[in-house]
Structure 1
Amino acid sequence: MTKQSRYSPEFRERAVRMLLDQQGEHESQWAAMNSIAAKVGCTAETLRKWVRQSEKDLGLRDGVTSDERERLKTLERENRELKRANEILRKASAYFAQAELDGQAFLRRPK
């Protein structure tokens, strides 16, 4: 169940590149973000998040890279699946252990 992104990765990369190329033409990075965001059709805050993530991916800023984030999601998903499987196995084991005890008690009954 992955969330469908409104913008493609190529679109995001192009918008970030546009910002990096044109930020010198504006008085601040935020002003450049507002200008570029209006041109490409996203919000300035969305563009700011893309730029910050790009900086993390390039090692220019501290934080979790996109690859690390994907790996964490994969590991968390696998962990949930394994916990679910272990719970099923635990319940099945208890059920069969109880069935075996019930069967043994049945065999020991006097006739």
Structure 2
Amino acid sequence: MSRRYTSEFKRDVVALALSSGKTVTEVARDLGVSPEGLRGWVKQAKIDRGEEPTGALATAERDELVRLRRKLREQEATIEVLGKATAFFARDKMR
């Protein structure tokens, strides 16, 4: 079963994993979180700090990308509606 964790919890767990000297699996087991999930959080934290290779999206960049894609979908839907309305009124005027 999937659980949602707060960003504060993730931040604290990542800090513990990086500073404890334990492996990610040990920290995850101690705290009752998924080792794969914790690995992902640690990797994303390193990307956000610029410690990972370039090409990976930081959290802020990923959030902006999601926002822009949503806006694009909304605008495409608007354009489609306007196109249909234009065709409707053009047909109506031709009569």
Q: Same fold (TM over 0.5)?
A: yes
What is the RMSD of the two structures over their aligned residues, measured on CA atoms? 1.0
Match of 1:68 among 41, 49, 61: 61
Larger Cα Rg: Structure 1 or Structure 2?
A: 1
Indicate the residue corresponding to 2:90 in structure 1. Answer: 97
Identity rate, percent: 33
Q: CA deviation at 1:38?
A: 1.1
CA deviation string 1:45-76 (max 9, x = no partner): 10000000000000000210000000000110
Q: CA deviation at 1:44?
A: 0.8
Q: TM-score, normalised by structure 1?
A: 0.79
> How big is each residue's C-alpha offset from its partner over 1:10-32, in whole Å with a ceiling of 9 and x where there is no partner?
11011101011112xx4xxxxx1
Question: Could you state the TM-score of these two structures normalised by the residue count of structure 2?
Answer: 0.91
Distance (whole Å) between structure 2 residues aligned to residue 80 and residue 53 of structure 1: 27
Q: Does 1:17 align with 2:15?
A: yes
Distance 1:86 1:36 in 2: 50
Structure 2 unmatched runs, 5+: none
For 1:55 and 1:41, locate their aligned partners in 2 and report how far apart those are by CA, in whole Å.
Answer: 22
Q: Does 1:54 align with 2:45?
A: yes
1:37 deviates by: 0.4
